[in-house]
Structure 1
Amino acid sequence: MAPPPPTVLHTEAAPALDLLTVPQVMARLQLGRTAVYDLIRTRQLASITLGRARRIPTPALADFIHTRLEEEAAA
């Protein structure tokens, strides 16, 4: 008689939310530190604060880029 198959647990984990640092966003957008912080300050780019660290969720960066593309297309 064959042993029972191993038990595999399937957990529905939420997709990992990548958080970017300001320097990572600077590199992706080819902008300086002040420009990125201005986007955060004016709420054009969403961010969160963890302690003293500022982090930008990757979906927020994607939303910012899509919004800017739509604005450029409408102009």
Structure 2
Amino acid sequence: MTAGTKLLTVPQVMERLQLGRTAVYDLIRTRQLVSITLGRARRIPADALTDFIHTRLDQEAA
């Protein structure tokens, strides 16, 4: 993660993936989606979301 990495909130990821809160936290819990914790706040690096989407697209294409 670089200094300029944008961090997304869970609601932002929910909106981008069109998934509910539980589904996003399940992706985090199963380590399919990388996240970090800052205090009590959970943040997802935008690059991690992009990587997740590309991985899923590759899996679907296979």
TM-score (norm 2): 0.95
Identity of aligned residues (%): 80
Question: In the TM superposition, what whole-angstrom CA distance separates every residue of 1:7-44 from its partner, at most 9, and x where no partner exists?
Answer: xxxxxxx6611000000000000000000000000000
The SS at the match of 2:43 is strand
What secondary structure does 2:11 align onto? Answer: helix
How much is the aligned-residue C-alpha RMSD, in angstroms? Answer: 1.0
* 1:55 aligned onto 2:62: no
Q: 1:39 aligns with which of 7, 19, 27?
A: 27
Unaligned runs of 5+ residues in structure 2 are: none
2:54 to 50, 55, 66: 66
Relative contact order (alpha carbons < 8 A, sep ≥ 6): 1 or 2 greater? 2
**Rg comparison, structure with higher value:** 1
Which residue number corresponds to residue 9 of structure 1? none
User: When the two structures are aligned, how many residues end up with a matched partner?
Assistant: 61
Q: Measured at CA, do residues 42 and 27 of structure 1 come closer, stay the same or move farther in structure 2, by a change above 3 Å?
A: same
Over 3 Å off, 4+ runs = none
Q: Which protein is richer in helix relative to its size?
A: 2
2: CA distance, partners of 1:38 / 1:44 = 9
